């Protein structure tokens, strides 16, 4: 995995050997036609909404259309493969997200290597998750949940959006770090109705999909998965306050095919980060349950490499296999 990190950082600084003046001229002109941003998740998902928000900013700032195209399938692999094959000219970009870091280990036969074949452009946002339980469960906090789960091994069902999804992997990390036994129940669609009905008792879900149910008392929030508490759930602790070292967040950003000219990547990075710093854009991100997370392209590359290593370890230790 250290080799993958070094390779990704190398790609983040690629194109240095190309002639300087033509590259600079290319960056000054870019973009001269509409730019496609491929999203590997359905319209309305967190990464999709964040991408649409920043694409509007880019369109106004750079004077060209930034067109969103949703290509869901194979946990974002369909979209990623399309962008990997695209010309490295800055006109086809990818909304990369947490699944890309997970898929690098989860899928054994994908025909691309995300670390090798994609170049980081900019991180966009971070989405907090929350550990929720059905109110019928006696546990009202993390210590009580752990105690109950250990006293009743295999009797609690943990819902997820499917094998290898973020809710699944975040839950498996919790299981590994606490030693509890939870029965994983993967869903192809939404699991919320079964969680509300008590058929499954616990889930690790994005806050923005659970907040209304939490506020209405239909679900109980035990803790957020992030390293720090979240303003949207005042008084709700972090899992790490009881399980030191636990942290899990959803994230999304923009990446480009490897060998995209460095000047284009930098122009996009500067433009995206300017949008993330704009007070109105920040407020709209917050309304979507997302936190703007500006980074340099190199820092984003380091972040993705670290996430890939982290989730690879969880997948291997939990022996997660696709069916």
| Per-residue confidence (pLDDT) for residue 187, from 0 to 100 | 96
d(CA 245, CA 162): 25
What string of DSSP letters covers 229-256?
--TTSTTPPBGGGTSTT---EEEEEEEE
Burial 273-312 (b: 16+ CB within 10 A, else e): bebbeeeebeebbeeebbbbbbbbbebbbbbbbebbbbbb
Q: Are strands 202-206 and 35-39 parallel, antiparallel or unpaired?
A: unpaired
Secondary structure (3-state) at 259: coil
pTM value?
Answer: 0.88
Nearest to 66 by CA among 271, 205, 287: 271
CA distance 127 to 206: 7
pLDDT value of position 7: 55
Tens digit of pLDDT per residue, the chain (323 long)? Answer: 555 555 555 555 554 444 444 555 556 789 999 999 999 999 988 899 999 999 999 999 999 999 999 999 999 999 999 999 999 999 999 999 999 999 999 998 899 999 999 999 999 999 999 999 999 999 999 999 999 999 999 999 999 999 999 999 999 999 999 999 999 999 998 999 999 999 999 999 999 899 999 999 999 999 999 999 998 899 999 999 999 999 999 999 999 999 999 999 999 999 999 999 999 999 999 888 889 999 999 999 999 999 999 999 999 999 999 97
Question: Domains, the chain, ranges and CATH?
Answer: 2-126+250-317 (3.40.190.150), 128-241 (3.40.190.10)
132's tokens = 């929720």
> Is the peptide bond prior to 31 cis by the omega test (within 30 degrees of 0)?
yes
- Quote the pLDDT of residue 26: 56
- Predicted pLDDT of residue 15: 42
The 3-class SS string of 20-72 reads HHHHHHHHHHCCCCCEEEEECCCCCCHHHHHHHHHHHHHHHHHCCCEEEEECC
Q: How many angstroms separate the CA atoms of 253 and 97, rounded?
A: 6
Q: 3-state DSSP: the chain helix, strand, coil percent, rounded to 5?
A: 45, 20, 35
Region class of 241: left (phi > 0), else alpha (psi between -120 and 50), else beta: alpha
């Amino acid at each position: 995995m250290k080799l993958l990190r070094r390779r990704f950082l190398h790609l983040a600084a690629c194109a240095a050997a190309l002639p300087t003046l033509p590259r600079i001229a290319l960056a000054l002109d870019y973009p001269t036609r509409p730019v496609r941003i491929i999203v590997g998740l359905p319209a309305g998902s967190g990464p999709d909404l964040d991408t649409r928000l920043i694409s509007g900013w880019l369109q106004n700032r750079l004077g060209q259309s930034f067109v969103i195209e949703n290509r869901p399938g194979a946990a974002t692999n369909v979209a990623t493969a399309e962008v990997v094959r695209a010309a490295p000219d800055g006109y086809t970009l990818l909304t990369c997200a947490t699944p890309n870091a997970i898929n690098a280990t989860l899928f054994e036969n994908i025909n691309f290597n995300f670390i090798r074949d994609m170049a980081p452009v900019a991180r966009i946002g971070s989405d907090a998750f929350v550990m929720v339980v059905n109110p019928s469960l006696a546990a009202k906090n993390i210590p009580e949940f752990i105690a109950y789960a250990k006293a009743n091994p295999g009797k609690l069902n943990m819902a997820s959006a499917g094998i290898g999804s973020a809710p699944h992997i975040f839950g498996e990390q919790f299981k590994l770090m606490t030693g509890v036994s939870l029965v994983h129940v993967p869903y192809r669609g939404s699991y919320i109705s079964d969680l509300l009905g008590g058929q499954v008792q616990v889930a690790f879900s994005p806050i923005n999909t659970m907040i209304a149910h939490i506020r209405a008392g239909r679900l109980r929030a035990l803790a957020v998965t992030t390293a720090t508490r979240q303003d949207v759930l005042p008084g709700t602790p972090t899992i790490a306050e009881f399980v030191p070292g636990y942290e899990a967040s959803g994230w999304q950003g923009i990446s480009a095919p490897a060998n995209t000219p460095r000047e284009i990547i930098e122009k996009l990075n500067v433009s995206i980060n300017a949008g993330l710093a704009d007070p109105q854009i920040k407020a709209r991100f917050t309304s979507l349950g997302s936190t703007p997370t500006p980074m340099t392209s190199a820092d984003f590359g380091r972040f993705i490499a670290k996430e890939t290593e982290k989730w690879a370890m969880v997948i291997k230790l939990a022996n997660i296999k696709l069916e």
